[in-house]
Amino acid sequence: MFNTTTIIGLIAAFCTTLSFLPQALQTIKTKDTSGISLSMYSLFTFGTVLWFIFGIMSTNYPIMIANGITLVLALIILTYKIRYK
C-alpha cells in the first residue's frame, strides 16, 4: 500500500488544492478583492494551466486532477478581481 512519504504527499496536495476553495467562496460572497494581488492570480492561473498541460503530457492523473480543480478556483478569484477591483 502507500508508504509514509506518499501519504504526506497526498495530504499536502489535498491541502494546497482545497485551500483555494474558502478564498473563492469568500470572494464570491463579499466581492471584496482589495487585498488580493492581480499579479499573483494572473501568474498563478497561468502556472496552473501549465501544470495541467504537464499532467496531460506526462499522463499523471493526480497532477491533472489537482491542478484542474485549482485552475477552476483560481479562475473564479481572478475573474472577480478583474471585475470588482
Q: Which residues bind its own copies (CB under 8 A)?
A: 4-5, 8-9, 11-16, 18-23, 25-27, 30, 32-37, 39-41, 43-44, 46-48, 50-51, 53-54, 57-58
Q: How far is the CB of 73 from its own copies (least distance, A)?
A: 10
User: Least Å distance between CB 81 and its own copies?
Assistant: 8
How many angstroms separate the Cα of 36 from the Cα of each of 5, 8, 22, 30, 59?
33, 29, 14, 13, 33
For residue 55, give the 3-state DSSP assignment. Answer: helix
Minimal distance, residue 83 CB to its own copies, in Å: 13
Q: Cell digits for 49? A: 494551466
